């Protein structure tokens, strides 16, 4: 399994990934979900500053989803 590190964790609750690209790609969504799956946090935000307006994507991986992944 690979190593994943968040750009920022707010109040030990929300994982934040910052980007400066034309658009948020699927790979960014997969990465933040993987980070959430291997952490205590359930909510992640991808903030993209690379367009004329800020683009935000919210991802959630609940504790129940994490348990299902671990037990198979």
Render pLDDT for 12-58 as a digit per residue (tens, 0 to 9): 999 999 999 999 999 999 999 989 988 889 999 999 999 788 999 99
| Paired residues of 18 in beta bridges | 47
CB–CB of 29/46 below 8 Å? yes
Round to whole Å and give the CA distance between 3 and 5.
7
Cα end-to-end distance, the chain, whole Å: 16
| pLDDT for 71 beyond 80 | no
Q: Are 8 and 18 in contact (CB under 8 A)?
A: yes
Residue extents of the structural domains in the chain: 8-71
Residue 2 has pLDDT above 90, yes or no: no
Query: Using CA atoms, how far apart are residues 50 and 28, in angstroms rounded to an integer?
Result: 14
pTM as predicted: 0.80
């Amino acid at each position: 399994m690979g190593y994943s590190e968040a750009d920022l964790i707010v109040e030990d609750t929300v994982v934040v990934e910052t980007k400066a690209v034309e658009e948020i790609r699927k790979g960014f969504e997969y990465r933040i979900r993987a980070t959430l799956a291997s952490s205590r946090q359930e909510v992640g935000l991808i903030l993209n500053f690379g367009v004329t307006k800020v683009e935000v994507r919210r991802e959630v991986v609940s504790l129940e989803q994490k348990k299902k992944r671990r037990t198979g």
